[in-house]
Amino acid sequence: MVFVAEGKEADAVRRFSAHLAAHRGDPAQVTQVCCDMAPAYISGVETALPQAGITFDRYHVMALVNRAVDEVRRAEAREVEGLKATRYLWLKNPEALTLTQHAAFRAVKSLDLKTGRAYHIKLALRRFWDFRYPKVAARYLRRWYFWATHSRLVPVIEAANAIRRHWAGVLAFIRSRITNGIVEGLNSKIKTALKRVYGFKTFENYRTIIYLIAGKLDLPTRC
């Protein structure tokens, strides 16, 4: 089932639960929810789907640490010439770099930079998602947290503490293995489709297009 609600408040989750019940569904059958760490979503799930466990989306967790790396880089760029132009080298996954970017990155990583320390902390967290055994994963995440909070890099420490506040939902991924990947992929198709309703910018029109896309129906290219 695909459900579209306006807004990002807790009430959107409550409306989903009511919609499910109204269409012969049972909200109690929802046992897992994947979302970002927004308090509104957490509150909505806990209120409307109290039986569901929460897994925090790995993409959003990594985005939190990526922002911390970028904050460290921006602060350090005031003192290190040329660092400003390397932003995307630090943010992209290593395997996504081109050969030219790899060469440039090797040169900048060889410097003794705070950004380099933040980057390696990010890579260490990235390895967490490969674990399969909860106890081993929890032990690794605790070590990672200790390293991050003793890095003397304020943005990294703040990101690590945010993860600590959402500890159970981050660790829940090891068992549930769920992400928002399908939804994120669908979002790109939806954004393209919404360009076809230019001039009809109402939520109802948007919702209709989204349901058509999610239902895998072909949209006409012209009237």
Residue that is written with structure tokens 């409307």 in the block: 48
Tell whether 38 and 71 lie within a shared domain.
no
Tell whether 101 and 49 lie within a shared domain.
no
CA pair distance 125, 127, nearest whole angstrom: 5
Residue after which a domain boundary falls, among 56, 76, 100? 56
Given a contact cutoff of 8 angstroms between Cβ atoms, the answer to whether 15 and 37 are in contact is no
Query: Residue 93: its pLDDT value, please?
Result: 92
Tell whether 68 and 95 lie within a shared domain.
yes
Does residue 223 belong to any structural domain of this protein? no
Given a contact cutoff of 8 angstroms between Cβ atoms, the answer to whether 85 and 101 are in contact is no
Tell whether 70 and 86 lie within a shared domain.
yes
Distances (CA, A) of 77 to 49, 93, 109, 157, 197: 46, 21, 14, 19, 43
Query: Residue 191: its pLDDT value, please?
Result: 74
| Neighbour-count burial for 179-197, b at 16+ CB within 10 Å, e otherwise | bbeeeeeeeeebeeebeee
Tell whether 79 and 124 lie within a shared domain.
yes
Tell whether 103 and 116 lie within a shared domain.
yes
Tell whether 62 and 167 lie within a shared domain.
yes
Does residue 70 belong to any structural domain of this protein? yes
Does residue 152 belong to any structural domain of this protein? yes
Does residue 26 belong to any structural domain of this protein? yes
Query: Residue 183: its pLDDT value, please?
Result: 78
pTM: 0.84
Tell whether 64 and 51 lie within a shared domain.
no
What is the Rg, in whole angstroms, of the alpha carbon atoms belonging to the chain? 21
Phi, psi of 35 (to 5 degrees): -155, 175
Does residue 130 belong to any structural domain of this protein? yes
Tell whether 168 and 146 lie within a shared domain.
yes
Given a contact cutoff of 8 angstroms between Cβ atoms, the answer to whether 89 and 104 are in contact is yes
Does residue 62 belong to any structural domain of this protein? yes
Q: What is the DSSP letter of 62?
A: H
Distances (CA, A) of 165 to 50, 60, 67, 171, 178: 19, 15, 18, 12, 20
Query: Residue 115: its pLDDT value, please?
Result: 97
Tell whether 42 and 132 lie within a shared domain.
no
Tell whether 170 and 111 lie within a shared domain.
yes
Question: How many domains does the chain fold into?
Answer: 3
Query: Residue 220: its pLDDT value, please?
Result: 54
Does residue 145 belong to any structural domain of this protein? yes
Does residue 183 belong to any structural domain of this protein? no
Tell whether 63 and 170 lie within a shared domain.
yes
Instruction: Give the domain range for residue 203.
Output: 189-216
Distances (CA, A) of 173 to 35, 39, 204: 11, 19, 34
CA pair distance 94, 72, nearest whole angstrom: 19
The pLDDT tens digits along the chain (223 residues) read 778 888 788 999 999 999 889 987 889 999 999 999 999 999 999 999 999 999 999 999 999 999 999 999 999 999 998 899 999 999 999 999 999 999 999 989 888 999 999 999 999 999 999 999 999 999 999 999 999 999 999 999 999 999 999 999 999 999 999 998 877 777 777 777 677 666 667 777 777 777 777 765 555 555 4
Query: Residue 223: its pLDDT value, please?
Result: 46
